[in-house]
Amino acid sequence: MKIAVASSDSLKVTGHAGQARRWLVFEAEPGQPPVEIERIELPKELVFHHWSGEGAHPLDGIQAVIAQSAGEGFLNRLRQRGVDAVMTAETDPVKAVADYLAQSLSPPRPRPIGKLLCKAKDYFSPHR
């Protein structure tokens, strides 16, 4: 299974997945250690917040996405593409993937102001 993790510095899981440009892609199966297979840096037009949803995308073929935060628009768009998008407080990408597979991923931290900002960005996005 291929799992993409939002990571602006390639070291930590980062937030606002809809704006994320850098992604770590892992190949992972339950009971096996995740293996990083690719690093993807999206051009601005392919960042999910700006992408129209038409045509191929560099993250096609991913079964799950992990980030620290995301707006409802991002979550809905991925659900429509058959991708499981999950949020977590975990900062280690490898541990986040392993925990996701073990169904023990820590829930995201409450972010009332961040959630409000995500909703505002989603509201004004042409790709709701």
Tally of CB atoms within 10 A around 124: 8
For residue 118, what pLDDT is reported?
60
As for how many domains the chain has, the answer is 1
Dihedrals φ, ψ of 85, to 5°?
A: -110, 125
Q: Are 66 and 4 in contact (CB under 8 A)?
A: yes
Residue 27 lies in domain: 2-124
pLDDT of residue 9: 96
Give the pLDDT confidence score for residue 77 in this predicted structure: 84
Which residues, including other chains, have CB under 8 Å from residue 41's CB and lie 6 or more apart? 21, 22, 23
Task: Output the six-digit token pair for 57.
Answer: 């995308």
* Segment 4-28, tens digit of pLDDT: 999 999 999 998 899 999 999 999 9
> Looking at residue 97, what is its pLDDT?
98
Q: What is the pLDDT of residue 125?
A: 60
Those residues of the chain that have pLDDT short of 70 are 111-128
What CATH number does residue 97 fall under?
A: 3.30.420.130
Amino acid residing at 119: K
Write down the pTM of the prediction: 0.85
